Amino acid sequence: MGDQALPTMDTPHKQAQDECVIRLDGVHKYYHLGDFQVHALRGITLEVCAGEFVAVMGASGSGKSTLMNIIGCLDKPSRGSYFLDGVDVSQMEKTELARLRNRKLGFVFQQFNLLSRTSALENVELPTIYAGITPQERESRAKAALERVGLAQRAHHYPSQLSGGQQQRVAIARALVNRPAILLADEPTGNLDSRTSVEIMDIFQQLNTEEGLTVVIVTHEHDIAQYAKRALEFRDGKLRRDTVIKDRLFACDVLPTLPTLEDEDADDEMTAPPPEAD
- Residue closer to another protein by CB (options 122, 269) is 122
Closest by Cα among 248, 246, 190 to 220: 190
* Nearest distance in Å: CB 197, another protein: 21
Q: Which of 128, 121, 198, 117 is nearest to 165 (CA)?
A: 198
Distance CA 265, CA 66 (A): 34
- With binding defined as CB under 8 A, does residue 220 bind another protein? no
One-letter amino acid at 204 equals F
Do residues 120 and 146 make contact, with C-beta atoms less than 8 angstroms apart? Answer: yes
Between 101 and 229, name the residue whose CB sits nearer to another protein: 101
For 199, the enclosing helix (H) or strand (E) is helix 194-211
The amino acid at residue 92 is M
Region from 9-17, 90-98, 152-160, 241-249 binding another protein, contact rule CB under 8 A: 90-98
CB of 106 to another protein, least distance (A): 8
- Binding segment for another protein (CB under 8 A), chosen from 17-25, 35-43, 107-115, 144-152, is 107-115
In the complex, minimum distance from the CB of residue 240 to another protein, in angstroms, rounded to a whole number? 24
Element (H, E) at 239: strand 238-244
Quick one: which segment of 106-114, 202-210, 216-224, 243-251 binds another protein (CB under 8 A)? 106-114
Cα 237–chain centre separation: 21
Binding letters toward another protein, positions 113-132, x by CB under 8 A? xxx-x--------xx-xxxx
Count of beta carbons in the 10 Å neighbourhood of residue 105: 23
Binding site for another protein (CB under 8 A): 69, 72, 74-75, 94-95, 98-99, 101-103, 107, 109, 113-115, 117, 126-127, 129-132, 174, 178, 277
